[in-house]
Amino acid sequence: MGAKIARVSQGGSSESELKNLREAGRILKNGGTVVFPTETVYGLGANALSPDAAKKIYEAKGRPSDNPLIVHISRLDMLYEIAEDVGSDALMLVDAFWPGPLTMIFKKKDIVPLATTGGLDTVAVRMPSHKGALKLIEAAGVPIAAPSANISGRPSITKGRYLLDEFEGKVDMIILGEDSEIGIESTVVDMTEEIPLVLRPGKISQSDIFQVISTGDSQKLKFLEKKLEDISGRHCGKPARSPGMKYRHYSPKAKVILEGPQKSAEQVLNEAMSMVTEDGKLLYEEPEVMVLCLKKNEELYGDHAYVLGEDSEEVARNLFTSLRMMDDMGVKLIISEFFSGDELACAVMNRLVKASSNI
């Protein structure tokens, strides 16, 4: 039987939408799987407190079972039900950024099964700002484990039309909404460390986080930054405490090459176009090579330019859908500029590095 398809707007407030959300909530509470929109990317949800339900997520995604899942909540009291040692720093971050694209890692309570946490004694938790997602969690009445809704290793999905190809027949219900507002996954910060440690960058930056927990004290801010340098290497060789740390992610079918520190994307493009196979033919035809770039650099690449936007927010919002659209176009080689200028650009580069095959 195929998945039930429903549509819910960001607000999710019409009677038909609320009916769909209540039905999806029942599916989740009873151990089923539901794909749903959030402000970051689409999520693939199941009851976070059920080992069997969590296993269905891994099966549907083809995801390694040691890759932890993020648990989504709709109220602060749900955090206390699943997490230990919620300290003052965490509560300051809650006040500043929840609901929103921030995930925090805590010691888990026994109610959270190891199947949800990838075998770890910690749990990653966030409260999405998407009102439809919040209403869905409320309808389920339980925390919802929800990694990004994509086949493991593929680009995350921010546009609903890609969900049907990926998950039809693999889940119980697919909720289609508007395109994701942010476009990349949440920032993940480990609250179990002496100093909160950012494990995955996102729209909420490390500077944003440190400014909040330093409460405007510049000396404390400097101390936090120095201590971060001392502890940032502690995760090397350890089990992944956050999604996106251990395995190759976000990869389109095309090969992805990033501009290196010594070469511009323009130089890399010229080299790619001069590549030949053993029989003397071009390895890539011209329409099969595209360059991800900012609007201001479009003229550098001519017909090979694929504009992601004018600034970091637009680039982040368009990144994953653009990777999928270039697969639709039959692009074989994707070259990316180096995006810089702020911490959101760094988060974009984090995703591109994981999608690339040369760095």
Residue with tokens 């986080």: 209
Domains and CATH numbers, the chain: 4-176 (3.90.870.10), 255-355 (3.40.50.11030)
> Are the beta carbons of 331 and 323 closer than 8 angstroms?
no
Residues 331, 89: Cα–Cα separation, whole Å: 46
CA count, 13 A, side-chain hemisphere, 155:
28
User: Torsion over CA of 306, 309, 310 and 313, rounded to 10 degrees?
Assistant: -150
Distance of CA 44 to the CA centre of its chain: 12
**Closest to 41 measured CA to CA, from 285, 243, 282:** 243
User: Is pLDDT above 90 for 5?
Assistant: yes
Burial (CB count within 10 angstroms: exposed 0-12, middle 13-18, buried 19+), residue 282: middle
Residues 352, 279: Cα–Cα separation, whole Å: 32
Residues 187, 214: Cα–Cα separation, whole Å: 18
Residues 56, 47: Cα–Cα separation, whole Å: 10
Where residue 277 falls among pLDDT bands split at 50, 70, 90?
very low
> Are the beta carbons of 147 and 55 closer than 8 angstroms?
no
Tokens standing for 287?
Answer: 């329409």
In which element (H, E) is residue 333 found? Answer: strand 333-336
User: Is pLDDT above 50 for 161?
Assistant: yes
Residues 188, 102: Cα–Cα separation, whole Å: 6
User: Is pLDDT above 90 for 178?
Assistant: yes
User: Is pLDDT above 60 for 357?
Assistant: no
CA count, 13 A, side-chain hemisphere, 39:
20
pLDDT confidence of residue 217 = 72
pLDDT confidence of residue 264 = 78
Where residue 170 falls among pLDDT bands split at 50, 70, 90?
very high
> Are the beta carbons of 326 and 256 closer than 8 angstroms?
no
Mapped onto helix, strand or coil, the DSSP state of residue 220 is: helix
User: Is pLDDT above 60 for 239?
Assistant: no
User: Is pLDDT above 60 for 53?
Assistant: yes
Q: Determine which of 74-88, 102-116, 257-271, 299-313 has the lowest per-residue pLDDT on average.
A: 257-271
Q: Determine which of 183-192, 263-272, 278-287 has the lowest per-residue pLDDT on average.
A: 278-287
User: Is pLDDT above 90 for 226?
Assistant: no
Residues 233, 9: Cα–Cα separation, whole Å: 42
User: Is pLDDT above 90 for 79?
Assistant: yes
Distances (CA, A) of 241 to 21, 51, 137, 149, 358: 31, 18, 24, 19, 25
Average pLDDT value for the chain: 87
Query: pLDDT for 108-134, tens place per residue?
Result: 999 999 999 999 999 999 999 999 999
Mean pLDDT of 157-184: 94
Query: pLDDT for 188-225, tens place per residue?
Result: 999 998 888 899 999 999 999 999 998 767 777 666 66
pLDDT confidence of residue 173 = 97
Where residue 147 falls among pLDDT bands split at 50, 70, 90?
very high
pLDDT confidence of residue 316 = 98
Residues 142, 111: Cα–Cα separation, whole Å: 11
pLDDT confidence of residue 358 = 47
User: Is pLDDT above 60 for 234?
Assistant: no
**Closest to 306 measured CA to CA, from 286, 285, 335:** 335
